[in-house]
Amino acid sequence: MSALGDKHLPIGVFDSGVGGLTVLRAMRERLPSESFVYLGDTARLPYGTKSTDTVTRYALQTVGTLVERRVKLLVVACNTATAAALPALTAAYPDIPVIGVVEPGAEAACRTTRNGSILVLATESTIRNGAYDRAIRARLPEARVTGIACSLFVSLAEEGWIDGPILEATAARYLEPLLAGEAAELPDTAVLACTHFPPLAGEIGKVLGPSVRLVDSAATTAAAVEKALDDGGLRRPGAEPGTLAFLTTDAPERFAKVGGIFLGHPLRVEDVELVAL
């Protein structure tokens, strides 16, 4: 295959559900001429409560489907899968650049914090893995990192409940024990370390208060993808908008309905293809 042919291939993106569409949205804004194929493994959602071995197996199966469709670069738009499976994915596909969301998220947190106290809001599996703690401390060794597993946020996001009293009460239950601590120990930065969390930022921010800055990995991941394309000579030439394809492993109607919230515009069910892994 020629380099020119490689440049015209799409970028493959996957998540356990629709949360990774926040990353896709950021990439589309930064790289409008690129084409993307997105796969949400909604049949096996959530990944965040499962073991590392299980998440790795799911990630390899999901990425295998994208690779079969021919992609030039892979984006793991799922913090849980990035933390658990990135080394396995990189080893399985050495000829395809693989970009995860943990390193870009850690970079955004370190760039934002003023006092070095950083809160990581993630799934149970991501917190247990410690990937964010390691990535943040590699950049900011003196950082104080606190992790809170907020797995229910994934379910609320997948329901499209991105505001209201249920979300506010859930956020308060997760966060109020931290906020009751000493003021000197409180974080000034909170990483939304799950791609399902950014649409919930309004209610999360209300509970944390205005002194805490919220960051997520979408914009920094898009920048990392742009750099990988340029470094590999894989940028799609021309100014024409790229294409989008959406795949899901369960309920295309639901994917389209909730996915539009994350993507920022309506998504038609006829544009979502059901696939079996």
CA–CA distances in Å: residue 253 to residues 4, 23, 85, 258, 263: 36, 21, 29, 9, 15
Q: How many helices (H) and strands (E) does the chain have?
A: 12, 10
Owner of token pair 């559900």:
17
| Residue count of the chain | 277
**Is 150 an active-site residue?**
no
Which among 46, 121, 43, 109 is positioned nearest to 81, based on CA atoms?
Answer: 46
How far is the C-alpha of 127 from the C-alpha of 149, rounded, in Å? 6
Q: Could you tell me how far CA 258 lies from the centroid of its own chain?
A: 16
Residues 6+ apart with CB under 8 A from 240: 33
Choose the catalytic residue: 63, 78, 225, 247: 78
Choose the catalytic residue: 102, 194, 234, 263: 194
Q: Are 43 and 270 in contact (CB under 8 A)?
A: no
Residues 6+ apart with CB under 8 A from 190: 118, 119, 120, 121, 204, 208, 212, 213, 214, 215
Instruction: Name the DSSP class of 167.
Output: H
Residue 20 main-chain phi, psi, to 5 deg? -65, -10
Residues 54-91 as b/e (b if ≥16 CB within 10 A, e otherwise) read ebbbbbbebbebbeeeebbbbbbbbbbbbbbbbebbee
SS3 145: strand
Give the active site residues.
78, 194
